[in-house]
Amino acid sequence: MYRLRLSESYVPAQPDGDLLDLTVGDLLRQQASTLPDSVAVTAVTADGTLGPSWTHEQLLRDAETLALSLASRFALGERVVVWAPNVSRWLLMEYACALAGLVLVTANPSFQQAELRYVLKQSRSVALFHTASHRGNPMTAIAEEASQGLSSVSEIVDLDNDEQLFASGPRPRALPSVAPTDAAQIQYTSGTTGFPKGAVLSHHSLVNNARLFAQRALTDRYSVYANFMPLFHTAGCATGALGSLQAGCRMLLIEQFDADALALRIETERVTNFFAVPTILVALLESLEQQPRNVDSLVAITTGGAPVSAELVERVRRQLGCHLLTAFGQTEASPMITLNHTDVSAEHISSSAGQPLPLTEVSIRTAREDGEIGTATPVVPVGVVGEICARGYGIMIGYNDNPDATAAAIDDEGWLHTGDLGTLDHEGFVRVTGRVKDMIIRGGENHFPAEIEHALLEHSSVAEVAVVGLPDPKWGEVIGAFVRTVGNQPIEVDALRAHCRELLSPQKTPSIWEQVGEFPLTGSGKIQKFAIRDNYLQRSSRKEAQ
């Protein structure tokens, strides 16, 4: 750990790391030259079966073949959406797009038509690459519907169709020059309007953040990294995939998380490292209690996205015999900002998100008022709650086609205002205490209340609605919908649930429903969501006490 003694809530960039001037494509070429015959990736299917493997040299060869095809069809800098689960061709597209100078736009495979159309349109993408289905989601049909009327979308490609995927176009089959500062990805994340904003991330920020994170998380040449985090998240395609690539180790690309299957693969493949949100850790521990496995290969597990209890830290150390490291990040930071070291106490692990990664500045600043943008706010004293801010190489280029949102997120001194509240102690450990934004984090996945509210308001029976996050021991938070119906007629939960499922991904459907006669309001007439949440929790506590 860093030996710091802070006098204010500011940690300067620590110099124990280097920044490499590489693109994602450069990185793959480098590893193919250095470690040509070592296994880079092994696919694991949805049922837990081991699939094919690729050495670093084979991965580069296949990625270059696809990149040449893409370069013949699309111009340098154009955007393409990849809409698929954790299949090997998602990863192949990540490297091929990087080599061809295309910007990869990620999309959740559970998206419905409206969600996918929004991403296609807002990103100005020229093509959509998808799988046929995922967990019953008819992706081929949705892809056709979502792209109707979008003249910019020239191709809809099934990733399993070789003829479509590797087709040649009218442009020269030659790979362009790509700069590390060029955009590599657009990742959609939360917005104050409730509609996701596209964070534009450079090759430079993704490559360096993944490497510095992997090094602190003890991922090296001899590791076996299990990557089941969704590739449409930076935790999957950046921290996991690019971190493993730079370590030069073998990565298990796991299509779908299953606790029993993961436990088996830890034993048979001698897994050493992975990232998992707390709900996944609990499921793995429960699986091992039912069916013990040899997990003595485990070295370090990283977790984040939800609070981690001291009990969970102790269970991991006792049952898995490895380090559990807590982290804090944000897509806009490529994504990791802090991570605990391996030489800190269990109390530090459970109560903090660690110290900043190398070469990243972190400060706690006075939270800005609504609508306040541009100017950096003052740094608060040590131990005082404020907004967690970060500055350095990993900060996004900006939000796609949204200069106002970019200016609101990154101030005139280059500080990214994360929207999360927290403190810094004298040793530089960050503690996350809440969120300025009312984003809901369920099982490590972000959900945007305004987006869910917008969908519910389209139902004819809904007059007003407030969606809030409610604490849950399994998921961290669950989604609660508080509804005032037209004419205060009885709420029809089944109808509203079905309505949500038509418009949104299944995980965005509220699990708690309550009818409200009237909402608590601010002086300006805005719904006080904190009051709704507090009232619900008080009622729940009284019921449990009876």
> pLDDT in tens for each of the 546 residues of the chain?
999 999 999 999 999 999 999 999 999 999 999 999 999 999 999 999 999 999 999 999 999 999 999 999 999 999 999 999 999 999 999 999 999 999 999 999 999 999 999 999 999 999 999 999 999 999 999 999 999 999 999 999 999 999 999 999 999 999 999 999 999 999 998 543 457 899 999 999 999 999 999 999 999 999 999 999 999 999 999 999 999 999 999 999 999 999 999 999 999 999 999 999 888 898 999 999 999 999 999 999 999 876 677 888 899 999 999 999 999 999 999 999 999 999 998 888 988 999 999 999 999 999 876 556 778 899 999 999 899 999 999 999 999 999 999 999 999 999 999 988 889 999 999 998 777 767 788 888 878 787 898 889 889 999 889 999 999 988 989 999 999 998 889 999 999 999 999 999 999 999 999 999 988 875 545 677 878 988 999 998 887 776
What is the pLDDT at residue 320?
Answer: 97
* pLDDT for the residue numbered 77: 98
Residue 194 has a pLDDT of 56
Q: CB-based burial of residue 45 (10 Å sphere; 0-12 exposed, 13-18 middle, 19+ buried)?
A: middle
Task: Assign 3-state DSSP to the chain and report helix, strand, coil percentages, each to 5.
Answer: 35, 25, 40
Residues 6+ apart with CB under 8 A from 170: 72, 73
**Tell me, what's the pLDDT at 27?**
98
pLDDT at 193: 43
In angstroms, the CA 186 to CA 332 distance is: 10
CB 506 within 8 A of CB 452: no
For 499, phi and psi rounded to 5 degrees? Answer: -60, -45
Model confidence over 100-149: pLDDT tens digits? 999 999 999 999 999 999 999 999 999 999 999 999 999 999 999 999 99
pLDDT at 525: 57
How far is residue 201's CA from residue 400's CA, in Å, rounded to a whole number? 10
For 226-253, how does the pLDDT look when each residue is reduced to its tens digit (9 = 90+)? 999 999 999 999 999 999 999 999 999 9
CB atoms under 10 Å from CB of 533, counted, come to 18
According to DSSP, the β-strands at 79-83 and 39-44 are unpaired
Integer Cα distance of 334 and 239 in angstroms: 8
406-to-183, 198, 215 alpha-carbon distances in Å: 15, 10, 30
User: Whose CA is closest to 133, among 255, 313, 268?
Assistant: 255
pLDDT recorded at residue 368: 77
List of domains in the chain: 20-256 (3.40.50.12780), 440-545 (3.30.300.30)
Instruction: Report the C-alpha gap between 37 and 58 in whole angstroms.
Output: 8
Q: What are phi and psi of 84, to 5 degrees?
A: -165, 160
